[in-house]
Every structure is written in structure tokens, then in C-alpha cells.
């Protein structure tokens, strides 16, 4: 519905001025294009004058002239006419090229600005905005702005310039014939206003239904495995065909208006020509005007209706551009909630001490979208049933925020290996996100080496942190480029050394081109374990001071690969401050300390043996998972 309302908005001068700011750096090219436009307008408006002169002075002269003189006049008129058309060709070429050049540069500038903005946005923004919507901003919405500059705005200026030029020439030549030609204009304006309204509604319906088709297509392509698994192909096809049928109906409605508009405009043009022939022909018979003047006016009328016809199309371009501009500038104006402070502190290396001091954190207010996996889960109900009391502190804002972390305080010493344990939705991943400053806390502070992470430059902070995800992301490109991630100072020898260290070199050497093997989208063709090893190697290559391992990096691999990854992780964590999130408690016995989370608060902490002896929440979880579950 937001898309629909935005499209209904009419021309907005404020938005137009903001779009024109992107034109300002190219004012020289625009100035040359407008000069070429003036030349093109004058040459177009002068064309009928050649017809008039040739007819009145050579073909049907009022005075008897020698045949040779008439041929000479015709030859001269043709030569000058061709010269003027050559000038017109050059002017049109220059105008079209320059405006298109400016449009493409503006397109580039806008795309770059939007992409840079998206790169700076904190992760919470992407939690609330679907990827498909953001891709539309940088593709079709930016293209609509380009159409506004090249086709809409400049085209509108060209059309108005041509209309004014033609009408001026007509009035100067003969104001009576000009008034006859202009007599049908009120009817033309009324008809085009009516058709324009119908076309606007048709376009609005088409864009709305097109967005539904695109959303359905994206969803079905993303979930094709589930579709095939549950044999939903016929049902999904029927649903998609229904949406596609609605889109077809919207396009047919648009075609209906176009099919009506162009013949109607053409008919009114012919009516104007008929009026000219009736009135002007009588004037020629009475010898009040020349035949050449009547022919020239007929040509002027035919030229006049073309830009008038184009104005309705320009209006649709303006409508689409205003809607797109509103969405684009809405994105660009969005506050960067996680941004560097003025005078943010640069840092080369961290010792690795991490402090959480009474941290209260929520992804958003109640009812707002949150990342998947941050909602409280059902795990641990058996613990409550066993009689362990869960005390949940409150704050004055308790009713406003959906708290994920509640008054969390702990310290991780430099070089210490710490594991985070708890049910789904307990707040473990949120701890990792706050250390890397993907989000900012609402209350309290997250500190590294005694200083709030908000005081550091984000670039330096994240350069010192290595993160290994449960589902690592690999870009299209070679294995080497995925490991370097743009840091060309990392040599191939260093890459091979690190891959051998984590155990990834074995499978890489078996690939056709080794480290230069090109990966498909998201690392297609590699197993989950191979992707995990590459992600681990990538994290180590950039020599982080703090290593964060999210959500059981070995959860989706076979036993043999799990052993390789676990061995690599133990080697990598030596001497580094490391935080591991784990669901399988057997994988974290080697850590120095375990922090146990429950419903957003830190419930227990200690070593594996200490927590088992304590007999609390962790011991109960361990018993449920490995004794009753048969996992131990």
C-alpha cells in the first residue's frame, strides 16, 4: 500500500529541486545540450518556410518567371534546406548524446550513493526492510530518476520550446490562420486530461500488481526446494497464474488507453488540417493568401500535434519519478543509527578485554520487526517445570521495548576463551552483535579494553574482530579473492599457510584450479564443512585480536569434518580472546569459562565442571541434552 500511495502523488517541486542537485556538477554539458536544443527547435520551425518559399517563388509563382529562374530558385531552396537539415542532425545528435551522457552519470552517482548508504546502515535496518525492496531502490527507482532527467525534464523543455517556436512562427506568418489552427486546442486539452487520468490509474494498478508478481516470484524461487518436497508445484503455479492474470489485465487496461489516445490525437490533428483547408483554401481562391502559406501551415499543424501528444507521456514519467524520488530520498535520509562519533578514536590493535556493564538491549520497540532467532524460544520449559525460578528484572521502559538482554554484566579477560550457552532467544547472538557494534545498546555499555565501543571507529573495531558464522557467506569469485576480501596485501603464500593451519588446503588442492577456482553464488558446489573451513581461514587471515564464533560453527557437518573444524578452532583460539556460541554442550568443555543465559539475562558462569557441580540451570540443560537425550 505504501507503493500505491506514493504513486498517487503529483509533481513535487521540492523533490524535483533535490533531483536537480545531481545535475549541477554537469552544468556545462547541460548548457551545451540546451544550446543544441535551441538550434534544433529553430531548424524544425523553419522547415515549412522552405515549402512556402519554393511553392510561392518557383512552383506556383504569382508572377510569370522564366523557367530557368524557377529551376534555379528550386535548386537554391533545396540546397539551403539540406544544409539546415544537416545542422538539425548535428544539433539533435549533440542534444541526445549530451543528455544521455548526463543521465548515465547521474544514474551512476545515485547508485553509488545508495549503495554506500546501504553499506553504512546498521543490521537493524535490514531486519525491517526486505532485500527485494532495497534492490528496487537501486535499480528501477534510480532508472525512473534517469528517465525523469533524460526523457521527462529535458523532453518537456524540448516539447515546450518546439510548441512555442511553432506557434510563434505561425502567428507571425498569418495570425488568422493561426487562430483557426488553435481553435481545437481546448477540446484537445479536455480529451488529454480525461485520458491522462485513466492512464494514471491504469499505471498505478499495473505497478501494484507487478510488485505482487515479483514478490511471489522471489518467494517461490527462494523456496523451490520446499515446494518440490511437499509437491506444491500445481498449487503454487495456480497462485502465480492468478497474480500474473491480474497483471495482464492491468496491462490490457493500459493498452486500451494508449489505443484510444493516439488515434484521438491523430484525429484532432486531421480535423485541424481540414479546418485549415476549408478556411485557408477559400483564402487562396480569393487570392488573399498564397498556396505556399497554406501548405506551410498544414506542415506546422502536423508538427505541432507531435509534442502535444508527447506531453501526456512526460506526465507519466513525472509521476513515476516523483514516487521513486520519494522512496530514494527516504532511504538516503534514513538516520544511521550506528555511526562514528565526531572524533572517533582510531586504534591499531586491541588487548582483547571485553566488558558488559549493565547492558539492556532491544532490537526494537514492541511490534517492530526483529531478526530471526531473537524471539524467545520454547527450550528450557522443562527447567522451569523442575522448579528453578526465573527472575526477570524490569525497567521504566519495560512496556515500550522488547528487551533481548536485561541488565547483563560480565568481563572477558584478554586471551580468555568463553562460551555462551542458553536456549534459542536467550540473547547469545545479541552479545556477539553488540561486541562488533552491529547494534547499539539502549542502556549500559559494551567496552573493549576499557573504552566504550561507540568511541572507536567502526572500521578499526571490526578489523580487529574475526567472526565465523554458522552459515558463512561466500561471494562469487575465486577462493583466493574470497579469502582476501579486497586486501591485496595478503599474499598467496600467506593464504596457503593459513589454509594449511585450519585444514582447508586438502580440499582446495583437489579443486581444478586450486586457489583460483571460481566459486558460484554463495559458494555453490562446496559442502557446508568446506565453507566453514574457508570462513575460518578468512577470519584468521585478517589476524583478529578477538574471535567470535556464532551458533555452533560445526552444527551442520559430518563427524570427520567436525573433528577437523574443532581442531582448527582450538589452534586458532590459542592466545586470542575468543567467544563461542554453542548449542551442543560437549563441544565447549575446553573453554576457560561458560556464561549461561536465560531469557536475556546472565544466569550462571563458571567452568564446565564447576557448573555441573553447582547443579543449576546449566547442569539441568546438560542432563536433559545428554542423559535423557542420549547424547553423552
**How does pLDDT run across 322-342, given as a tens digit for each residue?**
777 887 888 888 888 788 888
CA dihedral 16, 20, 21, 24 (to 10 degrees): -170
Can you give the pLDDT at residue 360?
93
Region 128-147 average pLDDT: 76
Window from 72-76, 395-399, 429-433 with minimum mean pLDDT: 395-399
Residue 293 C-alpha cell reads as 502559406
**pLDDT digits 0-9 by tens, 519-568:** 876 666 777 778 888 888 888 888 788 878 765 555 555 666 667 667 77
Residue with the bigger pLDDT between 3 and 515: it is 515
Region 393-415 average pLDDT: 76
d(CA 593, CA 410): 11
Residue 581 C-alpha cell reads as 556460541
Kindly tell me if the per-residue pLDDT of 393 is higher than 50.
Answer: no
d(CA 185, CA 181): 8
Angle of the 291-332 helix axis to the 13-20 helix axis, nearest 10: 90
d(CA 359, CA 445): 6
CB 4 within 8 A of CB 203: no
d(CA 1, CA 318): 20
* Residues β-bridged to residue 448: 354, 451
C-alpha to C-alpha distances, 219 to 126, 131, 213, 225, 227, nearest whole angstrom: 17, 12, 10, 11, 10
CA dihedral sign of residues 196, 202, 203, 204? positive
pLDDT tier, 303 (very low <50, low <70, confident <90, very high otherwise): confident
Can you give the pLDDT at residue 390?
43
Kindly tell me if the per-residue pLDDT of 498 is higher than 70.
Answer: yes
Residue 314 C-alpha cell reads as 512526460
Residue 363 C-alpha cell reads as 532490537
d(CA 178, CA 491): 78
d(CA 245, CA 247): 5
pLDDT tier, 205 (very low <50, low <70, confident <90, very high otherwise): confident
Counting residues of the chain whose pLDDT is more than 90, the rounded percentage is 11
Region 59-76 average pLDDT: 83
Region 580-591 average pLDDT: 75
Can you give the pLDDT at residue 483?
86
Strand order in the sheet with 401-412: 401-412, 354-365, 443-448, 451-452
d(CA 570, CA 547): 12
Can you give the pLDDT at residue 387?
43
Chain centre to alpha carbon of residue 592: 44
Q: Average pLDDT over the chain, rounded to whole?
A: 80
Residue with the bigger pLDDT between 264 and 413: it is 413
Can you give the pLDDT at residue 2?
42
Kindly tell me if the per-residue pLDDT of 83 is higher than 90.
Answer: yes
Region 602-611 average pLDDT: 89
Query: Checking DSSP bridges between strand 546-549 and strand 577-581, what pairing results, if any?
Result: parallel
pLDDT tier, 630 (very low <50, low <70, confident <90, very high otherwise): very low
CB 48 within 8 A of CB 297: yes
Element holding 220 (H helix, E strand): helix 185-222
Can you give the pLDDT at residue 11?
62
d(CA 211, CA 319): 17
CB 192 within 8 A of CB 258: no
**pLDDT digits 0-9 by tens, 91-104:** 999 988 998 898 88
Region 472-484 average pLDDT: 83
Residue with the bigger pLDDT between 107 and 370: it is 107
CB 189 within 8 A of CB 285: no
CB 77 within 8 A of CB 53: yes
pLDDT tier, 6 (very low <50, low <70, confident <90, very high otherwise): very low
Residue with the bigger pLDDT between 269 and 409: it is 409
DSSP string, 195-209: HHHHHHHHHHHHHHH
CB 426 within 8 A of CB 444: no
Kindly tell me if the per-residue pLDDT of 133 is higher than 80.
Answer: no
Region 163-185 average pLDDT: 86
Window from 74-83, 407-416, 417-426, 617-626 with minimum mean pLDDT: 617-626
DSSP class of residue 26?
Answer: G
pLDDT tier, 126 (very low <50, low <70, confident <90, very high otherwise): confident
d(CA 406, CA 376): 13
Region 407-419 average pLDDT: 92
Can you give the pLDDT at residue 354?
93
Region 98-123 average pLDDT: 87
Region 405-422 average pLDDT: 91
Angle of the 233-285 helix axis to the 175-182 helix axis, nearest 10: 150
Q: Is residue 380 left, alpha or beta, with left meaning phi > 0 and alpha meaning psi from -120 to 50?
A: left
d(CA 113, CA 141): 13
Residue 59 C-alpha cell reads as 512552383
Q: Per-residue b/e over 278-298, b at no fewer than 16 CB within 10 Å?
A: ebbeebbeeeebbbbbbbbbb
Counting residues of the chain whose pLDDT is more than 70, the rounded percentage is 86
Can you give the pLDDT at residue 552?
57
pLDDT tier, 379 (very low <50, low <70, confident <90, very high otherwise): very low
Task: Single out the residue of 315, 301, 310, 322 nearest to residue 158, CA to CA.
Answer: 310
For the chain, what's the residue count?
A: 632
CA dihedral 588, 589, 595, 599 (to 10 degrees): 60
Residue 617 C-beta-side C-alpha neighbours within 13 Å: 24
DSSP string, 257-292: HHHHHHHHHHHHHHHHHHHHHHHHHHHHHTTSS-HH
d(CA 206, CA 199): 10
Cell 507503493 found at: 3
Kindly tell me if the per-residue pLDDT of 413 is higher than 90.
Answer: yes
Region 216-226 average pLDDT: 80
Kindly tell me if the per-residue pLDDT of 500 is higher than 90.
Answer: no
Window from 219-228, 520-529, 555-564, 590-599 with minimum mean pLDDT: 555-564
Kindly tell me if the per-residue pLDDT of 351 is higher than 80.
Answer: yes
Can you give the pLDDT at residue 7?
47
* Residues β-bridged to residue 579: 418, 548
C-alpha to C-alpha distances, 581 to 124, 329, 419, nearest whole angstrom: 21, 39, 6
d(CA 440, CA 509): 42
CB 577 within 8 A of CB 415: yes
- Backbone φ and ψ of 163, nearest 5°: -60, -50
CB 533 within 8 A of CB 564: yes
Amino acid at each position: 500500500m505504501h507503493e500505491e500511495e506514493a504513486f498517487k502523488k503529483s509533481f513535487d517541486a521540492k523533490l524535483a529541486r533535490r533531483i536537480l542537485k545531481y545535475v549541477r556538477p554537469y552544468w556545462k554539458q547541460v548548457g551545451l545540450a540546451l544550446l543544441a536544443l535551441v538550434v534544433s527547435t529553430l531548424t524544425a520551425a523553419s522547415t515549412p518556410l522552405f515549402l512556402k518559399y519554393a511553392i510561392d517563388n518557383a512552383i506556383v509563382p504569382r508572377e510569370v518567371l522564366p523557367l530557368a529562374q524557377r529551376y534555379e530558385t528550386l535548386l537554391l531552396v533545396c540546397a539551403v534546406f539540406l544544409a539546415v537539415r544537416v545542422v538539425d542532425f548535428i544539433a539533435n545528435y549533440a542534444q541526445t548524446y549530451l543528455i544521455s551522457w548526463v543521465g548515465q552519470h547521474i544514474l551512476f552517482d545515485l547508485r553509488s550513493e545508495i549503495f554506500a548508504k546501504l553499506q553504512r546502515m546498521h543490521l537493524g535496518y535490514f531486519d525491517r526492510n526486505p532485500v527485494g525492496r532495497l534492490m528496487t531502490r537501486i535499480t528501477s527507482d534510480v532508472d525512473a530518476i534517469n528517465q525523469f532527467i533524460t526523457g521527462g525534464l529535458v523532453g518537456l523543455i524540448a516539447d515546450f520550446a518546439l510548441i512555442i517556436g511553432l506557434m510563434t512562427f505561425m502567428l507571425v506568418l498569418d495570425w488568422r490562420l493561426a487562430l483557426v489552427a488553435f481553435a481545437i486546442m481546448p477540446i484537445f486539452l479536455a480529451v488529454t486530461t480525461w485520458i491522462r487520468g485513466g492512464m494514471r490509474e491504469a499505471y498505478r494498478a499495473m505497478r501494484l500488481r507487478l510488485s505482487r508478481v515479483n514478490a511471489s516470484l522471489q518467494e517461490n524461487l527462494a523456496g523451490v526446494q520446499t515446494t518440490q518436497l511437499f509437491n506444491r508445484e500445481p498449487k503454487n503455479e495456480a497462485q502465480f497464474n492468478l497474480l500474473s492474470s491480474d497483471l495482464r489485465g492491468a496491462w490490457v487496461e493500459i493498452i486500451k488507453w494508449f489505443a484510444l489516445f493516439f488515434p484521438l490525437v491523430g484525429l484532432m490533428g486531421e480535423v485541424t488540417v481540414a479546418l485549415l483547408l476549408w478556411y485557408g483554401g477559400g483564402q487562396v481562391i480569393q487570392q488573399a493568401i498564397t498556396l505556399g502559406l497554406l501548405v506551410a501551415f498544414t506542415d506546422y499543424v502536423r508538427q505541432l500535434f507531435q509534442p502535444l501528444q508527447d506531453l501526456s507521456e512526460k506526465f507519466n514519467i513525472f509521476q513515476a519519478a516523483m514516487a521513486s524520488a520519494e522512496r530514494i530520498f527516504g532511504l538516503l535520509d534514513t538516520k544511521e543509527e550506528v555511526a562514528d562519533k565526531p572524533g572517533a578514536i582510531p586504534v591499531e590493535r586491541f588487548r582483547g578485554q571485553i566488558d558488559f556493564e549493565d547492558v539492556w538491549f532491544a532490537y526494537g520497540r514492541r511490534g517492530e520487526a526483529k531478526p530471526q532467532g531473537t524471539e524467545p524460544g520454547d527450550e528450557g520449559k522443562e527447567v522451569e517445570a523442575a522448579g528453578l525460578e526465573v527472575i526477570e528484572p524490569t525497567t521504566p521502559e519495560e512496556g515500550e521495548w522488547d528487551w533481548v538482554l536485561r541488565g547483563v554484566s560480565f568481563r572477558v579477560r584478554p586471551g580468555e576463551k568463553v562460551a555462551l550457552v542458553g536456549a534459542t532467544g536467550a540473547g547469545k547472538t545479541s552479545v556477539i552483535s553488540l561486541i562488533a557494534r552491529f547494534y547499539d545498546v539502549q542502556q549500559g555499555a559494551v567496552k573493549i579494553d576499557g573504552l566504550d565501543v561507540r568511541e572507536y571507529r567502526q572500521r578499526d573495531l571490526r578489523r580487529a574482530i574475526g567472526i565465523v558464522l554458522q552459515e558463512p557467506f561466500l561471494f562469487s569469485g575465486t577462493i583466493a579473492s574470497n579469502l582476501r576480501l579486497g586486501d591485496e596485501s595478503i599474499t598467496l603464500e600467506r593464504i596457503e599457510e593459513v589454509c594449511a593451519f585450519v585444514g582447508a588446503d586438502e580440499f582446495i588442492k583437489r579443486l581444478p584450479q586450486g586457489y583460483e577456482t571460481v566459486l558460484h553464488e554463495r559458494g555453490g558446489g562446496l559442502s557446508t564443512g568446506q565453507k566453514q573451513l574457508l570462513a575460518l581461514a578468512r577470519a584468521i587471515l585478517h589476524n583478529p585480536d578477538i574471535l567470535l564464533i556464532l551458533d555452533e560453527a560445526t552444527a551442520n557437518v559430518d563427524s570427520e569434518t567436525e573433528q577437523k573444524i574443532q581442531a582448527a578452532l582450538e589452534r586458532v583460539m590459542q592466545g586470542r580472546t575468543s567467544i563461542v556460541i554453542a548449542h551442543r554442550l560437549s563441544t565447549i568443555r575446553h573453554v576457560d569459562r561458560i556464561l549461561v543465559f536465560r531469557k536475556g539475562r546472565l544466569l550462571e558462569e563458571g567452568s564446565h565442571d564447576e557448573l555441573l557441580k553447582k547443579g543449576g540451570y546449566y547442569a539441568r540443560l546438560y542432563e536433559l541434552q545428554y542423559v535423557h537425550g542420549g547424547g553423552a
